[in-house]
Amino acid sequence: MTDTPIPTPKPASSEQSLSPVTRFLRATEIDTRLVGMIGALALIWIGFHFYGAIVNGYGAFLTPRNLWNLSVQTSSIGIMATGMVLVIITRNIDLSVGAVLGLTAMIMGLVQVQLLPQVLGLGSPVIWMITIVVGIVCGGIIGSFHGWLIAYRGIPAFIVTLGGLLVWRGCAFLAAGGRTISPVDPTFALLGGGPYGAVGSTGSWIVGILACIGVLWMLRSGRKQRQLHDFRLRPLWAEAFLGILGCGMIIGAVLLVNAYPWPKGIVNAYAKANNLTVPPEGLFISHGFAIPVLILIVVGILMTILMTRTRFGRYVFAIGGNPEAAALAGINTRWMTMKIFTLMGMLAGLSGAVASARLNSATNALGVFDELYVIAAAVIGGTSLGGGLGTIYGAILGALVMQSLQTGMVLIGFDTAIQQIVVGSVLVMAVYLDNLYRRTSK
């Protein structure tokens, strides 16, 4: 008598056992942390808007004017946050970025107000270009010096950059004797936004259409690369959803910035200067995307490519994951550290250009406490203080979250002390959530 094996039931597919939401996120490959940040940002916006409506009788947060200004205010911090991601991924920190911003802004102010007009003549069209190059180069030199001390002299990044915070802030004061340098070159001032520092309605639609084409091209190119290397393909419906979502968000942003008109006084002055007739109901001229926002977008795209499509980016993550193993694998970790801090300094210089252009002056108050907001933006955006984990888009979203908190608290009348308490609490909570995420994802 032979034993007949009893057929065992086939286990249920692991995919079918998942919840619909999990299957959706897996099919579309949307980062759950990104969803969480967007959800938190939406709650902040809605909360401040309705709180203002209840207390003041009207909600001022979710308006084209406030959201446009919010995007401009985020630009300076967001630019530096993209560099801070690399610094923190490699298990370092940079406490000097605010002071570097202040010093480079002061140097650029002196160059374009006192130096270049004497050499090139007042109103020369190249003053603003030379000024920006000088600011970025000065920031890069300072960052290189920090990186050299950290990588080749073995001084901890915390100490080097803490000392840099004090040294460069003092240098900025001495450079101009404590004076405010203004006004900056008119073309340079456009980098800070404002009615003239924006691309207008037509320019915004051109930017939006190009961005939509870029989204569709990325989806198509990514699918071809997956097919070429026999990687798992996303379902067609997931590809279509991502395309519609991306293009929808871009078009929504274009409609939003085009809904914010120039102030009446500026419109009347513009019409008078250009011999235009203003109708009785007024002339509607859209701001469109502000130039500093476009600068932030370009920096974000370039930094994302650097981190995800180059050997440099792979080395950054390798050093953050395990510095000893990276060195044994042949990566020159010291040279990489120096390059990362150089890049951080250059981004601080670019941010100094945006910040001083927005104020139309270089002051000693520029960049004060910015280092805290930059670090908070990177951490809130998912960059792990333990190293080896972080995204550029997450840091930009983190900067938007930080600026939203500040702007919202100002609109509803919170004192500066309350604002500092909230920002500090959010930073601590972000680090706690990061530690919790790392433990649960293991």
The answer, yes or no, to whether residue 10 has pLDDT greater than 50, is no
Measured CA distances, 119 to 130, 133, 135 (Å):
12, 17, 18
Hey, CA dihedral for 162, 164, 167, 168, is it positive or negative? negative
Q: Give the three-state DSSP class for 33.
A: helix
The answer, yes or no, to whether residue 110 has pLDDT greater than 90, is yes
CA distance 344 to 333: 16
What is the residue-wise DSSP string for 413-430? T--HHHHHHHHHHHHHHH
Measured CA distances, 173 to 29, 46, 162, 362, 364 (Å):
49, 41, 17, 11, 6
pLDDT band at 420 (very low <50, low <70, confident <90, very high): confident
Around Cβ 5, how many Cβ atoms within 10 Å?
6
Nearest to 94 by CA among 108, 79, 81: 81
Q: 2-16, 189-203, 368-382: which has the minimum mean pLDDT?
A: 2-16
The answer, yes or no, to whether residue 442 has pLDDT greater than 70, is no
Nearest to 68 by CA among 195, 168, 180: 195
Q: What pLDDT is stored for residue 216 in this prediction?
A: 95
CA dihedral 79, 80, 82, 83 (to 10 degrees): 140
Domain boundaries, the chain: 59-198+290-366
pLDDT tens digits along 267-306: 888 888 888 888 887 888 999 999 999 999 999 999 999 9
If 0-12 CB within 10 Å is exposed, 13-18 middle and 19+ buried, where does residue 188 land?
buried
pTM check: above 0.95: no
Q: Which residue has the higher pLDDT, 398 or 17?
A: 398
Joined together, the tokens standing for residue 299 give 């920096």
Residue found under tokens 């601080």 = 348
